[in-house]
Every structure is written in structure tokens, then in C-alpha cells.
Structure 1
Amino acid sequence: MSATENRSTLDEVYRAFNQGHVARLRELFADDMTMVIPGRTQISGTFHGHDEIFGVFARMAAITGGTSRADVERVLVDDVGGVVIAVDTARREGEEVTARFADVYRIEQGRVTELRPFPEDPIAMDHFWRRGGRP
């Protein structure tokens, strides 16, 4: 795919994520997609396929009461995928977090095949997504 097409795909991913449009995300994510979330938290790990990936998204929504949002600051794309610099915000048990991420994507035929988010402050992310507390 061209860089322009990949940019369009990434724009759609963030629009669908922020609107909670799961059906659209399923269309944009390849059936055999892989997502790797670093850290030692309840959402960290390597996830394969829609069931596992959307399971993590559901867990994130439960933990944050659906407050998780990603605001795109910058997008860099080529014919293989792209990197999105985004600022994520969420609330958990009265605690708010604002964190910058570099989300690295591989895209094939208009569908995301791999996502690897890299937090600017991994320690803050480990704390926010820690185990325990509600969900």
C-alpha cells in the first residue's frame, strides 16, 4: 500500500478507537493481527487475533470506565506502515493519566497486521495499568 493509503488507515483507526466503534476496528485490523504491549501490567503481553486484542481493549475500557482516548500529535508513514505519536488520556479510580506514546504499525492491504505501543514514561504506565483495584 502507498504511504497515503496507510495514513488514511491510521486516521481511521484513531477515529474508530476514540468513538468506541469496535465494528470498524475489526474491519481495520487483520484477523491474525499481533499487538505487543510492554510492561508488567494487567494489559501487558503479546496478543494475537481479534478475540485477544479486543479482549484487551475491553479490559482497558472496564478499568477506565470508558475514558481512554488517544489524540494524535504526529503521523509518519511509508509503504510498510507508520508511527503515530499520540497523547493518551484516561481515568482510573479518580486518578487521571496523560501519556505520550509512539504507536508503531505494520499495515498490509489496508489492514493493520501489527501494533506495538511504546510509552514515553513506562514507569507511569506500569503504575496506571497496575494490577489490583477495580477490574
Structure 2
Amino acid sequence: MGEHPDTALVRQGYEAFNKGDEQTLRSLLTADCVHHSPGSSQISGHFKGQDNVLGMYRRLWELTDGTMRVELDGVFPDGRGHAISVHKIYAERGDRGIEMRGGIFFTIIGGKISDLDECVADIEQVDEFWGTE
């Protein structure tokens, strides 16, 4: 059996994110997509629309001087337009680093990602790492 199309879509997104490939990421997202990022740091919130979502990703790469990467552990589709990913993030920012497990709950419509609801193992640690400015 081949890989489920929703699994392949999510894997492609992770690969593009790790390469900083905004063109591919844009092609995988609906125009009105939303990425929900937990916590109360400068990268927390609800980012609506491709430009805002990609702008937030750009901010992640800028804040970490390009050191941020996400290692995908698995993708689990439900066959009804949802998939859950499990991953580990690695990044450095100034004199601090972070290594943490997390995941994203994806909603997929028409073969594109419309909603990303991110979860992390330790919200307080993530907030401390990203800071407010």
C-alpha cells in the first residue's frame, strides 16, 4: 500500500519548511489558511492567510539565524481531511537552544492545508525561548 495523500502532503510541508522553501509551502496552503501557535511569546497567536503564515515562518528562521529545523517522527491521517504530526524542534537563539517534542493537528481541504493547530510539550519553555521581542 502506498502512502496516504494527506500524509504525503504533510511530509512535503515539513521538507519545504526545513529548506525554507516558501514557494512550495505556499502551494501546499489554502489562501485563507490559519496557523495557531501556542503560548504568549512573539511567535504565538493565530496567523490567517498565506502571507501571514509564511511571514511567521520567516520570523522563526530570522530569530534563529536559520538554525531552526523540525524532525518529523510521524504523520497519522484519519482519511477524512485531518492528520496529526509528531515532531521534534531544534533551534538556537542567541545563547540559548531548544529541543522539544510537539505536534500539529492539520485540516486538509481539496488537497491543501487549511488549518494548522500546533501543540508543544512545554509552553512555558517555548515562551521563554522565543521571548516577547
Number of the residue aligned with 1:40? 40
Q: How many equivalent pairs are there?
A: 130
TM-score, with structure 1 as normaliser:
0.92
Specify every segment of 5 or more residues in structure 2 that has no aligned partner in the other structure, as ranges. none
CA distance in 1, matches of 2:55, 2:72: 23
Q: For 1:123-134, what aligned pairs fall within 5 Å after superposition?
A: 123-132=124-133
Deviations 1:58-84 (A, max 9, x none): 111111001111101121112212110
Specify every segment of 5 or more residues in structure 1 that has no aligned partner in the other structure, as ranges. none
State the 1:95 CA deviation: 1.1
Q: Secondary structure at the match of 1:14?
A: helix
- 4+ aligned runs moved over 2 Å, structure 1: none
- Between the two proteins, what is the percent identity of the paired residues? 28
Number of the residue aligned with 2:56? 56
CA distance in 2, matches of 1:34, 1:47: 5
CA distance in 2, matches of 1:9, 1:98: 25
1:88 and 2:89 correspond:
yes
Given residue 27 of structure 2, which amino acid in structure 1 is its aligned partner? Answer: E
Q: CA RMSD in A?
A: 1.1
Number of the residue aligned with 2:70? 70
1:97 and 2:73 correspond:
no
CA distance in 1, matches of 2:66, 2:73: 21
Deviations 1:94-122 (A, max 9, x none): 21100111211001111100001100111
CA distance in 1, matches of 2:24, 2:16: 6
TM-score, with structure 2 as normaliser:
0.94
